[in-house]
């Protein structure tokens, strides 16, 4: 065992002999507006590694509906993790089914979110977020009362909301465990609805057969998705994933080519 003085010296923090080098590639995680401001202020010789606003979704294909508790439980976990605030959190679930069958899935999702709330309660809500959720739920209830193809679950106000909606006014914009379930006829409708969001599209979690999932993955990648995964893995991308389509470390490296 080394003597006490040596132990004390080893415990001292190491200090750099000179000034810290300036970052040549400052990483930025924020909204589109903040990323634009950072880029505008960065020197022309500095490359900004920017991670702007991103949105993610889930898709449940028809064959996965044969055992609704399975995909519903996995979807609830993906939504509840990070209280749906993460860039990998599904904002909306496309279900390959008619309205009634999609509503059955929504009921299973609602029950699974209740279990998530019991195990991992939702965090505190800022007043603005609470007001936004209240207004969104109220608007959906009014549309349902007017006879539109809309259903709101659960019937009482809880820390989670599931809205079955064939024609939602928007696919994104809310979080805090507010989920829209959108019935679709097939993958063509999924791709068509997501195409306008291509610039911000990130993760799409797909439940279905491997063959249909792989076929859909190619189409999703073509419109901008950088990650297609399962519902179970949606909240937990691996450390080596291609974040927004690029390796997590390669964007921070500057290469020198030696030719000759």
pLDDT of residue 45: 66
pLDDT of residue 48: 67
Residue 7 reports pLDDT greater than 80? no
Percentage of residues in the chain having pLDDT higher than 90: 62
Across the chain, mean pLDDT equals: 85
Residue 199 reports pLDDT greater than 90? no
Q: Which residue has the higher pLDDT, 27 or 241?
A: 241
pLDDT in tens, 85-109: 988 999 999 999 999 999 999 999 9
How would residue 49 be classed by pLDDT, with cut points 50, 70 and 90? low
How far apart, in whole angstroms, are the C-alpha atoms of residue 126 and residue 245?
33
pLDDT of residue 140: 96
Let me know: does 42 contact 48? Beta carbons within 8 Å: yes
Residue 11 reports pLDDT greater than 50? no
pLDDT of residue 16: 47
Let me know: does 236 contact 230? Beta carbons within 8 Å: no
Q: Which of 52-56, 66-70, 210-214 has the highest mean pLDDT?
A: 210-214
All structural domains of the chain, each given as residue ranges with its CATH number in brackets, are: 55-229 (3.40.309.10)
pLDDT in tens, 122-165: 999 989 999 999 999 999 999 999 999 999 999 999 999 999 99
pLDDT of residue 80: 97
Residue 50 reports pLDDT greater than 60? yes
pLDDT of residue 34: 65
pLDDT of residue 27: 58
């Amino acid at each position: 065992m080394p003597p006490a003085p040596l132990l004390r010296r080893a415990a001292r923090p190491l200090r750099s002999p000179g000034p810290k080098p300036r970052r040549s590639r400052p990483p930025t995680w924020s909204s589109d507006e903040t990323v634009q401001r950072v880029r505008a202020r960065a020197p022309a010789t500095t490359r900004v590694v920017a991670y702007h606003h991103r949105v993610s979704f889930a898709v449940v294909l028809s064959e996965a509906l044969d055992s609704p508790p399975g995909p519903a439980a996995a979807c609830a976990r993906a939504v509840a993790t990070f209280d749906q605030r993460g860039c990998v959190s599904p904002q909306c679930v496309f279900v390959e089914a008619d309205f009634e069958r999609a509503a059955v899935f929504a009921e299973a999702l609602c029950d699974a979110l209740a279990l998530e709330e019991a195990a991992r309660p939702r965090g505190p809500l800022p007043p603005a977020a609470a007001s936004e959720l209240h207004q969104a739920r109220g608007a959906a209830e009014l549309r349902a009362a007017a006879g539109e193809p809309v259903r709101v679950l659960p019937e009482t106000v809880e820390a989670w909301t599931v809205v079955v909606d064939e024609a939602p006014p928007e696919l994104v914009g809310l979080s805090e465990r507010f989920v829209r379930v959108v019935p679709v006829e097939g993958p063509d409708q999924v791709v068509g609805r997501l195409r306008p969001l291509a610039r911000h599209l990130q993760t799409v979690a797909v439940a279905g057969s491997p063959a249909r999932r792989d076929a859909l993955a190619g189409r999703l990648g073509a419109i901008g998705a950088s990650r297609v995964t399962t519902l179970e893995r949606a909240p937990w991308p691996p450390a080596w994933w291609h974040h927004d389509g690029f390796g997590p470390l390669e964007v921070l490296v500057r290469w020198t080519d030696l030719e000759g």
